[in-house]
A and B are shown apart, each in its own frame.
Chain A
Amino acid sequence: MDIAFYITAFVTVISTIMVITRHNPVHALLYLIISLLSISVIFFLLGAPFAALLEIIIYAGAIMVLFIFVIMLLNLGKETAKQEKEWLKPKVWIGPAILSAILFVELIYLITIAHAASYNLQTVDPKAVGISLFRPYLIGVELSAMLLMAGVVGAAHIGQHKKIILHRFLKEKDPL
């Protein structure tokens, strides 16, 4: 089991690094799906099958499809990849990378100073999750339902094709 975890963890990290470094959006998206799938494996290993399934179905299934649609709609292809290549210079990414590294070191330190204790891994089955979801967390479920509703309405509204509408202070400018 241990080895399975480390392998999956390795795959996850590598694919995630690929996500943030690829120039072609579609490639990055594919790496992200791999990353999500491997995380779902880790969920299985941690005894959370319900979460693992949701990860695959919703994340890797539904949400990523949205990204693909957008990429298709915007027709992002080789030109974008070329552009990305120009944009991704060491001068640009070295600073943020150092900052992120510092943050990571701090996180490592904070996580490892806690005393590790071995424990028995137990599977939390979907039934328990469902009961918990619809008993103590009912209000949270309702709120997230409203959030999704707002998301749908908002996306429908924002996504409408309108004429170029500039702010009234910007009207003098040539509207492209």
Chain B
Amino acid sequence: MKSSISIEMVMLLAGLLFVLGIAGVIIRKNIIFMLLSVEVMLNASGLAFVAAGSRWAQPDGQVMFIFILAMAAAEVSIGLALILQIYHQHKSLDIDKLKEMKG
């Protein structure tokens, strides 16, 4: 399959998605949105791996993507459980109210 998708373009896309994810994490106050943004960031890095794997025609990129997937699943399950608990204890999802760890 001949393709002329240049690898730079894919990488640029991955970078853009990653930066959007970061922006989402920073600007949102609601923890659920932050978690969603984190998913976007993870996805962007997965995209970068798959693109690199495809550039060299090696399976390693996809293997890394699978690991990222596994990690994301674990992270989401823990994160959501934490959100539930935070909501039960504070009746709020505002990240700016959760400042008990102030040094």
Binding site for B on A (CB under 8 A): 1-2, 5, 9, 12-13, 16-17, 19-20, 25, 28-29, 32, 35-36, 39, 42-43, 45-48, 50-51, 54-55, 58-59, 62-63, 66-67, 69-71, 73-74, 76, 80, 83-84, 87-88, 92-93, 96-97, 99-101, 103-104, 107-108, 111-112, 114, 116, 118-124, 128-129, 131-133, 137, 140, 144, 147-148, 150-152, 154-156, 158-159, 161, 164, 170, 176
Contact = CB atoms under 8 A, between A and B. Distances in A.
Given A32-B40, A66-B76, A114-B8, A54 B27 contact: no
Instruction: Sort A-B residue pairs by CB-CB distance and give the 6 closest, nearest first.
Output: A151-B74, A20-B24, A96-B26, A121-B3, A93-B27, A107-B15
Contacts, number: 247
Interface residues of B, number: 77
B98 interface: no
Nearest to A96: B26
Given A108-B12, A111-B8, A148-B70, A20 B33 contact: yes
A19 B44 CA distance: 14
Interface string B1-12: 111111111111
The interface residues of chain B, by DSSP majority, are classed as helix
A47 B5 CA distance: 11
A67 B29 contact: no
